[in-house]
Amino acid sequence: MAIGRSAVMAPVPSKLYSDDVSLLMVLLDTNPFFWSTASIPFSKFLSHVLAFLNSILLINQFNQVVVIATGCNSCNFIFDSSSVPANPNLENGRMPALCSNLLQKLEEFVTGDEKLSKEVLAAGIGSSLLSGSLSMALCYIQRVFRTGPLHPQPRILCLQGSPDGPEQYVAVMNAIFSAQRSMVPIDSCVLGAQHSAFLQQASYITGGVYLKPQQLDGLFQYLSTVFATDLHSRRFLQLPKPAGVDFRASCFCHKNTIDMGYICSVCLSIFCKHHKKCSTCGRKRQSSLEG
């Protein structure tokens, strides 16, 4: 097996650029509230993920991997396989550089994220900022599109364990629709105990794969069989299909999931019971109820 060359992107002759080159954006959930109660420790999880990222970079020499950490109070870029490594002595192939760089930056990020915590969360596990990392991933993907006609095919993989934060609903949906327009699939691997309605909708709308592994001890196996394939080769594989997608909405007043509700015709807010006044836009209803 050939050792990889220097990581700087040299101009590639077009016949070497096949249609299965991918750019994989990995959104890593680092929420400490979730990991303290998860079924595997964060260090074991990281070893599965690092082995998976190495395998992606080995499948095709032009594959690119970018890791963004989704924290509890902030998000940031952790690793980019196409950037020039800081210490050339460590660089005799990309594998050693990947591990040390990534782990170092991840540690800095987690320490910084913890410092930003303002108040102690009341109860339950707090949510992580999925909308932030999705937005950053999509901006980076737009930059890759701008480099010209020869670019890797981008996709996003969310490794998410924290529950959905209802306050991020609009932002996550905006990101999903933008991904759909740019034809970027969002794959989801849910590590927590419950299904994530946001990620189910994201994968359904963008054409990605949604999976909730039954045994987190074998995470590397799930990742390499389901999520490692590039977009071109997915047509030839039977990937897991979701049992059903929960498209029900949450009412704005109680955040309960409802299957029939009342919609304000001006601002489209959803309510479970009939009200005289719309609490979002403040307009009083004028005529009798329709329907």
Partner 1 sequence: MDFKPSRMAVVAKHIEAFIREFFDQNPLSQIGLVTIKDGLAQCLTDLGGSPDSHVKALMGKLECSGDSSLQNALDLVHGYLNQIPSYGHREVLILYSALSTCDPGDIMETIQECKKSKIRCSVIGLSAEIFICRHLCQETGGSYSVALDESHFKELLLEHAPPPPAIAEFAIANLIKMGFPQRAAEGVISICSCHKEAKVGGGYTCPRCKARVCELPTECRICGLTLVSSPHLARSYHHLFPIPPFDEVSLSLLNNPHQRSSRACFGCQESLLIPGNKPNLCVACPKCKQHFCLDCDIYIHESLHNCPGCESFRHSKIVSVTEE
For binding to partner 1 (CB under 8 A), which residues are involved?
72-77, 80, 115-116, 118, 129, 131-133, 135-136, 138-140, 142-143, 146, 168-171, 173-178, 181-182, 201, 205, 241, 243-250, 258-268, 270-271, 274-275, 278, 281, 283-287, 289-291
| Residues forming a β-bridge with 26 | 67, 157
Q: Which DSSP helix (H) or strand (E) runs through 188?
A: strand 186-190
Stretch (H or E) spanning 139 = helix 130-145
CA separation for the pair 220, 189 (Å, rounded): 12
* Residue (66 or 219) nearer to partner 1, CB: 66
**Contacting residues for 204 by C-beta, under 8 A, at least 6 apart:** 210, 242, 245
> Measured from the CB of residue 245, what is the shortest distance to partner 1 in angstroms?
5
In the complex with partner 1, which residue's Cβ is closer, 58 or 245? Answer: 245
Q: Which is nearer to partner 1, 198 or 227 (CB)?
A: 198
Residue nearer to partner 1 on the CB measure, 221 or 265: 265
CB of 16 to partner 1, least distance (A): 25
Count of CB atoms situated within 10 Å of the CB of 198: 26
Q: Rounded to whole angstroms, how far apart are CA atoms 32 and 71?
A: 8
b/e string for 43-60 if b means 16 or more Cβ within 10 A?
Answer: eebbebbbebbeebbeee
User: Please, what is the minimum distance in Å from the beta carbon of residue 183 to partner 1?
Assistant: 12
Nearest distance from residue 131's CB to partner 1, in Å? 4
- Widest pairwise Cα distance in the chain: 75
Pairing of strands 249-250, 257-258: antiparallel
Nearer to partner 1, 13 or 119 (CB): 119
Q: What single letter denotes the amino acid at residue 44?
A: K
CB of 90 to partner 1, least distance (A): 21
Q: Least distance (Å) from partner 1 to the CB of residue 223?
A: 24
Report the residue number, 22 or 76, with the smaller CB distance to partner 1.
76
